[in-house]
């Protein structure tokens, strides 16, 4: 069994809204989506990928043990499969393949170790959803409630002492039948028995909903995940986050799959592609609406595409994937996510809460601003710049420091001192698509 570098386990904050380390330090989740990482890349390429993401400020990697793209029958980069077959010829969750030199699961171990060595946690899906609810994709369906429990228990025992792990059940499929619910429940209970409840657990839902739709009241669910997904229209993922925020019992929530950078809008290249503007808007909308962090994704990175292809089959040239994963690592949206993390870590974000009530006559539609406030700050995201009118007097003190924060560069501009009273209109330094800004108001001075 691999020995992992130490990262403190993640826990839920006292107010049940955010994540903290077991030693009490706030943790702002900033994840990258690499669903096919364990299935597609060798050790050297994995190390390269992880190094880039660590430098860019990511601290969580979302990936899958039994991968989406025919992960049960197409070997990994070393020719290894995760499971042995049973007598019927189907892969058997109760028979993990640990044979041979550098098995599939040893490669999983190595990825988790490398990630932790670079200061990043692994959010691990035990399986993609097509392995229990095919609906679309490759499958095959191999899980029952009984073997889901045993498979979960095996995983829990294997990674019991791996502090840098978060469990993510589900995998982009709805829970439509009692059987689906029971498979997920039993897998969760198996993991809990195996790991002694040492790791946080969540659920990755189908597109357009939150895990709260299915499993919010389940005791095993520690935090919710939204998949706001890749549909056309104005980014309004703040609605899903706000819905989760008002649920009881209180649990943290975050958007774990918003629109990916460079994915075709509505999955159709004819519609064009989401860009860094859409990426930033989804991220700031989610976090300022009460999310405990955010997940970024790039279309070529989640699938580890090595070029231009017409579909996820990656067997014909086309415009569905428009670059290699190596080129995709340096796309602007990925590089700009660290500015959100830096902004939230510059304050005690665990005191934050949605604060739309501070906005007077806010703009609507694509211009909708979203506000959050903590014990000594107010942040307001303005997606097209323009202006925002704010009711002051909610923060302590007679004066505030105001500035505009640029989500593209991570720089503050236009700092000034203002009275902490009345209603004031603030006009952004610039306006238009791609000219988004964050109005920052602080009690006292902000260096």
Q: Cβ(274)–Cβ(260) under 8 Å?
A: yes
- CATH fold of the domain at 355-443: Immunoglobulin-like (2.60.40)
Q: Does the pLDDT at position 446 exceed 60? A: no
Calculate the alpha carbon distances from 40 to 82, 245, 325 in Å.
13, 36, 11
First-to-last C-alpha distance (Å) of the chain:
47
CATH of region 10-347, choose from 3.30.470.20, 3.20.20.80, 3.30.465.10, 3.30.1280.10: 3.20.20.80
What's the pLDDT band for 134 if we cut at 50, 70, 90? very high
Pairing, β 423-427 against β 387-391: antiparallel
Average pLDDT in the chain: 96
Domain ranges of the chain: 10-347, 355-443
Look up residue 226 and give its two tokens.
């939204």
Distance of CA 180 to the CA centre of its chain: 23
Binned at pLDDT 50, 70 and 90, residue 3 comes out as low
The predicted model gives 179-191 an average pLDDT of 98
Nearest partner of 59 among 110, 109, 108, 10, judged by Cα = 10
Asked if 222 contacts 250 with a C-beta cutoff of 8 angstroms, the reply is no
326 pLDDT more than 50? yes
E-strand spans in 77-163? 83-85, 91-96, 121-127
Which residue is associated with the tokens 């597109």? 207
> Is this model's pTM higher than 0.95 or not?
yes
Report d(CA 65, CA 39) in Å as an integer. 8
Distance CA 294, CA 401 (A): 27
Whether residue 247 contacts residue 284, with contact meaning beta carbons closer than 8 Å, is answered with no
Pairwise CA distance, residues 288 & 56, whole Å: 21
Res. 5: pLDDT tops 70? no
Cα–Cα distance for residue pair 380/370, rounded to 1 Å: 6
pLDDT at 409: 98
Find, among 424, 299, 441, 329, the residue nearest to 374 by Cα.
441
Whether 444 has a pLDDT exceeding 90, the answer reads no
Q: What tens digit of pLDDT does each residue of 46-96 get? A: 999 999 999 999 999 999 999 999 999 999 999 999 999 999 999 999 999
pLDDT at 447 over 70: no
Mark 38-61 as b/e (b = at least 16 C-beta within 10 Å): bbbbeeeebbebbebbbebbbbbb
Task: Please tell me what DSSP assigns to residue 129.
Answer: G
């Amino acid at each position: 069994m691999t020995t992992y570098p130490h990262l403190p386990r993640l826990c839920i904050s006292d107010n049940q809204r955010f994540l903290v380390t077991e030693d009490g330090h706030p943790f702002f989740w900033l994840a990258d989506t690499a669903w096919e990482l364990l299935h597609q890349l060798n050790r050297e390429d994995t190390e390269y990928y992880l190094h880039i993401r660590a430098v860019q400020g990511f601290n969580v990697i979302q990936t899958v043990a039994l991968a989406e793209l025919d992960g049960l029958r197409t070997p990994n980069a070393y020719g290894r499969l995760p499971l042995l077959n049973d007598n019927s010829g189907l892969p058997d969750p109760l028979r993990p393949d640990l044979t041979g030199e550098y098995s599939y699961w040893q490669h999983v171990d190595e990825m988790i170790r490398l990630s932790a060595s670079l200061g990043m946690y692994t959010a691990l899906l035990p399986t993609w959803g097509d392995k229990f609810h095919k609906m679309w994709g490759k499958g095959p369906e191999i899980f029952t409630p009984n073997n889901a429990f045993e498979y979960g228990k095996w995983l829990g025992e294997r990674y019991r002492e791996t502090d840098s792990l978060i469990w993510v059940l589900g995998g982009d499929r709805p829970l439509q039948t009692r059987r689906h619910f029971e498979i997920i429940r039993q897998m969760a209970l198996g993991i809990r028995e195996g790991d002694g409840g040492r790791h946080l657990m969540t659920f990755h839902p189908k597109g357009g909903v939150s895990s709260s739709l299915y499993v919010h009241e389940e005791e095993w669910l520690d935090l919710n995940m939204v998949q706001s997904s890749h549909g056309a229209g104005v980014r309004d993922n703040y609605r899903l986050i706000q819905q989760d925020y008002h649920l009881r019992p209180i649990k943290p929530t975050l958007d774990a799959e918003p629109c990916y950078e460079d994915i075709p809008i509505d999955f159709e290249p004819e519609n064009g592609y989401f860009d860094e503007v859409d990426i930033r808007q989804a991220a700031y909308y989610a976090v300022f609406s009460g999310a405990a962090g955010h997940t970024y994704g790039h279309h070529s990175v989640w699938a580890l595409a090595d070029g231009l292809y017409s579909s996820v089959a990656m067997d014909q040239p086309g415009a569905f994937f428009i670059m290699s994963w190596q080129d995709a690592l340096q796309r602007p949206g990925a590089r700009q996510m660290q500015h959100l993390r830096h902004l939230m870590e510059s304050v005690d974000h665990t005191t934050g809460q949605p604060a739309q009530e501070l906005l007077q006559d806010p703009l609507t539609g694509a211009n909708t601003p979203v506000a959050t406030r903590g014990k000594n700050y107010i942040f307001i995201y303005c997606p097209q710049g323009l202006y925002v009118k704010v009711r002051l007097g909610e923060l302590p003190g007679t004066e505030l420091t105001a500035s505009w924060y640029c989500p593209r560069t991570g720089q503050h501009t236009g700092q000034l001192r203002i009275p902490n009273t009345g209603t004031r209109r603030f006009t952004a330094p610039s306006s238009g698509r791609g000219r988004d800004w964050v109005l920052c108001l602080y009690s006292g001075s902000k260096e």
